[in-house]
Amino acid sequence: MALHNAPLGKSSDYPDQYDPALLFPVARAENRGRIGLQDGRWPWFGDDLWQAWEISWLRPGGVPAVAWGELRFPAASPSIIESKSLKLYLNSLNQAVFSSVDQVAETITADLSSACGAAVSVTLFSVDEAAPAEGRPAGYQLIDDEPVENVVYDYSAESLVTGAEDVTEQLCSHLLKSNCPVTGQPDWASVFIHYSGKKIDRAGLLRYIVSFRQKQDFHEHCVETLFTDLMARCEPRELTVCARYTRRGGLDINPVRSTQPEADAGPRLVRQ
């Protein structure tokens, strides 16, 4: 499907009837081709964790119910789901009657899995269940105060360099910003990098992250670009890259790409 047919950036009537056809898949292959990956050979494990904060439906007696959810799309899925289409889809549940929260979760699971072409995991939580937020997970070192020369706002990986020392580090920056390729709206994120290998120059890494500031791309594509650039230029033995993006329209997206199969997105942050 061509992206110009997506609801993103267009005026939309919010549905009052359940409609899984609202979901708009976007193929991952085009972006992966742009960063030099072909034929389904991706050098990572991972998933895209979406946190959905505006989920509602009707119970059999007509009284509404509300929940928040974690939606996990495997990085190996053929497609991502365009975010506004997911918002419209979730809103189409608002006037639909479900017998239980389990039926809601099963319905969302089936619809998202069908749309993206792979098994999606959906977990719904009561809004009484806390989702604790953190500023920065324990063990991660903030690089945002590193002295940086020749700051650039046009994407460039040239500043990614390593030294001779072999290390295992967990680094964090709250300064990742990119722009939606359709609407131009800013997308804000904290990025977490956990690696083993030659020590990455922190000032160069920060300069690289800041260079995304005017880049137009989806959240998932930005994280795959980060991962691919770090692997190509720094050659770590192990690498995990996660970006936790701020919430927009009741949704936040948190892609993870890793050389390790068990990597996850970690805790919710204060900007989410």
Catalytic residue among 180, 222, 234, 242: 180
Catalytic status, residue 180? yes
Residues pairing with 253 in the sheet: 50
- The two tokens of residue 270 are 């204060």
Q: How many H helices and E strands in the chain?
A: 5, 12
- The two tokens of residue 120 are 């999606």
Strand ranges in the chain using DSSP code E only, listed in sequence order: 25-27, 45-58, 64-74, 79-81, 121-125, 133-134, 141-142, 162-179, 186-200, 238-245, 251-258, 268-269
Q: Are 112 and 122 in contact (CB under 8 A)?
A: yes
d(CA 192, CA 80): 22
Closest listed residue to residue 165, CA positions, set 200, 211, 206: 200
Catalytic status, residue 222? no
Enter the DSSP assignment of 119: P
Catalytic residue among 187, 217, 229, 252: 187
User: What is the set of active-site residues?
Assistant: 180, 187
